Copies of this chain bind each other. A is one copy, B any other.
Amino acid sequence: MKSYLENINKAFESRARLGIMSVLMVDERVDFNTLKDTLQLTDGNLASHLRALEEAGYLHVEKQFVGRKPNTTYQASDLGREAFKTHLDALEQLILSNRKEN
């Protein structure tokens, strides 16, 4: 297998997860509804992708109350930032290798 393909990380494959990580690389801490609006995902779909990223150790999740309303915020972990950068580097290699050969 071409070596860059090995660094393509299954955890980030889907468009939704690429989108989530891209938002969290920029903004320190983002709440559920902001992610939902930005990425135009359903509650269930977004929640399931966030859970997968949390289980991989790529996100920190914080549940708190704003007044009486529960508010959950998400933050990329250091591990998540590193892993996402590695993934983007692998994608870049893939793109460069395609451009070079065509």
Contacts and interface: CB of A to CB of B under 8 A. Distances in A.
Interface of A: 1-2, 5, 8, 10, 13-15, 18-19, 22, 25-26, 38-40, 84, 88, 91-92, 94-95, 97-98, 101-102
Given A95-B88, A102-B25, A8 B15 contact: yes
B94 A22 contact: yes
**Oligomeric state, in number of copies?**
2
A98 B14 CA distance: 16
Contacts of A94: 18, 22, 88, 91
A43 to B, nearest CB: 16
Nearest to A16: B5
Nearest to A40: B1
